[in-house]
């Protein structure tokens, strides 16, 4: 049982002002593995004050200084990679290999991207007699989720450091272990006092206080659309910038000329990855009506190969979902899918056979889903795939776009030009053509209720920059 009841503020671990504590639960065993303290508005005041005090100096550091700092962070991060992977496995149930090769690696990747970008990014531009400069926005509140904890921390912290901002991080109180190790990494790397601060807490006690705070210049939030709405409302009172990466219900369109064995099997595995706890998962699979039976059989066979179990076991493909609350929500949506008449291809209610303890969900596939069903409209955030059929390409596009979300999408076709054409019609922030993987240099974010702004690469850096015009900088 680890005692993590301190916050990292102004370059040191300090005792919180808040008195309430919270047990961190290992979702595979349902046992408490750590205790954190829940912060309050007094803790927020101290952390924001530290970040505000540090901003004038850090914002004026040179490009070379920040390059050297990022290099030190990368070096320290690598040294702690095994501890980070172990923390993620224990706090949110990711299997060991996924924790190491995807979760931890993704976080490191964002620091490499920020480092490369900082070496070449132009912060100044001359337009006639006017000089335009891009400057750090100020003190940033970074509020991150539990599903990809290090990825979401790193894709905010790395560009904030590169831009010259100072920050207060509120990691998820459900999965805070890796965040505490990350704070140690920042300290070891010599991040100046006050530049990076960490306080634990929930949305009511800490998240709301950060978004309301007059000395916070920007909020970068990743989480549910419901919570993102509250963040926007609170931030509007002080007209601060808000970047939101929210929910998704993304469509994976498999066209009639695609390799169905490849497209369907990869689509099923993609949804099951990370126990379905990815906002950009392609959870609606759209297939030609005359191929539906073939698709169902491939999906059934593929889902059966997805082994849910102890994340410490090498054979495990997916671990548990993060909490009892999440498990209950997923079970409720599976029940709705059954009640609303979708065909249960495999999986369903309850835990996988032989698993008594832990928040495990059966890899589940529904077919003959219509786009008005709950499982086609709501973000399940579990290992649940919905298969819908269409008659023609136009109907496929219409179904894909008939969603309040617009985060990601996929198109499969033997004809790349045809896939490109369909992708151009999708109202979504990202599209994977024929299973192409994510690119950490490209923008990540969505349309509609999937968010505001972009993360990753140059687009992510620019969220942390203000633009200033200096008229008459050069003589005529």
In the numeric block, the tokens 């979708």 are attached to: 342
Residues 6 or more apart whose CB falls under 8 angstroms from that of 45 comprise none
Q: Cα separation of 288 and 391, whole Å? A: 6
For the question of residue 245 being annotated catalytic, the response is yes
Q: Identify the three-state secondary structure at position 385.
A: strand
The alpha-carbon radius of gyration of the chain (Å, integer) is: 23
DSSP conformational letter for 368: S
DSSP conformational letter for 342: -
Tell me which of 91, 173, 245, 455 is the catalytic residue: 245
Q: What is the dihedral of CA 186, 190, 195, 196, to 10 degrees?
A: 10
The dihedral region occupied by 386, where left means phi > 0, alpha psi between -120 and 50, and beta the remainder, is: beta
Tokens of 286: 């759209």
Q: Cα separation of 322 and 405, whole Å? A: 23
Q: How distant is the alpha carbon of residue 184 from its chain centre?
A: 22
Q: Identify the three-state secondary structure at position 1.
A: coil
Residues 6 or more apart whose CB falls under 8 angstroms from that of 451 comprise 228, 243, 244, 245, 246, 407, 429, 445
Q: Identify the three-state secondary structure at position 139.
A: strand
- Best CA proximity match to 244, nearest among 233, 256, 255: 233
- Catalytic residue set: 245
């Amino acid at each position: 049982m680890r005692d993590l009841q301190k916050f990292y503020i102004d370059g040191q671990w300090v005792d919180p002002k808040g008195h309430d504590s919270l047990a961190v639960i290992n979702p595979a065993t349902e046992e408490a593995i750590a205790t954190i303290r829940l912060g309050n508005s007094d803790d927020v005041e101290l952390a924001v004050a530290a970040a505000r005090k540090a901003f004038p100096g850090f914002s004026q550091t040179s490009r070379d200084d920040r390059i050297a700092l990022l290099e030190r962070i990368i070096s320290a991060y690598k040294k702690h990679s095994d501890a980070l992977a172990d923390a993620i496995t224990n706090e949110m149930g990711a299997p060991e290999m996924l924790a190491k090769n995807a979760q931890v690696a993704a976080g490191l990747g964002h620091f490499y991207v920020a480092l490369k970008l900082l070496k070449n990014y132009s912060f100044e531009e001359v337009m006639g007699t006017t000089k335009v400069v891009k400057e750090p926005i100020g003190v940033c509140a970074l509020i991150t989720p539990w599903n990809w904890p290090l990825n979401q921390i790193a894709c905010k912290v790395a560009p904030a450091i590169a831009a010259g901002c100072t920050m207060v991080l509120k990691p998820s109180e459900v999965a805070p272990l890796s965040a505490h190790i990350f704070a140690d990494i920042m300290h070891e790397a010599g991040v100046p006092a006050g530049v990076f601060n960490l306080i634990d807490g929930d949305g009511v006690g800490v998240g709301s206080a950060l978004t309301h705070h007059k000395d916070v210049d920007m909020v970068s939030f990743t989480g549910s659309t419901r919570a993102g709405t509250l963040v926007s409302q609170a931030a509007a009172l002080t007209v601060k910038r808000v970047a939101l990466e929210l929910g998704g219900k993304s469509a994976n369109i498999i066209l009639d000329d695609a390799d169905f064995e490849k497209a369907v099997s990869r689509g099923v595995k993609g949804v099951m990855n990370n126990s379905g706890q990815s906002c950009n998962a392609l959870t609606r699979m759209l297939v030609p009506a005359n191929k539906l039976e073939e698709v169902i059989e491939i999906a059934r066979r593929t889902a059966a190969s997805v082994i849910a179990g102890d994340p410490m076991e090498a054979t495990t493909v997916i671990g548990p979902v993060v909490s009892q609350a999440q498990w209950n929500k997923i079970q409720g949506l599976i029940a709705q899918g059954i009640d609303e008449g979708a065909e249960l291809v495999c999986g369903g209610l309850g835990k996988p056979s032989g698993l008594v303890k832990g928040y495990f969900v059966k890899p589940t596939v529904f077919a003959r889903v219509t786009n008005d069903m709950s499982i086609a409209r709501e973000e399940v955030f579990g290992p649940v795939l919905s298969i819908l059929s269409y008659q023609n390409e136009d109907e496929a596009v219409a179904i894909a776009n008939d969603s309040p979300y617009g985060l990601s999408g996929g198109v499969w076709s033997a004809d790349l030009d045809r896939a490109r054409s369909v992708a151009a019609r999708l109202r979504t922030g990202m599209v994977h053509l024929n299973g192409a993987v994510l690119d950490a240099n490209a923008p990540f974010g969505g349309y509609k209720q999937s968010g505001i702004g972009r993360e990753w690469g140059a687009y992510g850096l620019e969220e942390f920059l203000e633009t200033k015009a200096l008229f008459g900088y050069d003589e005529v």
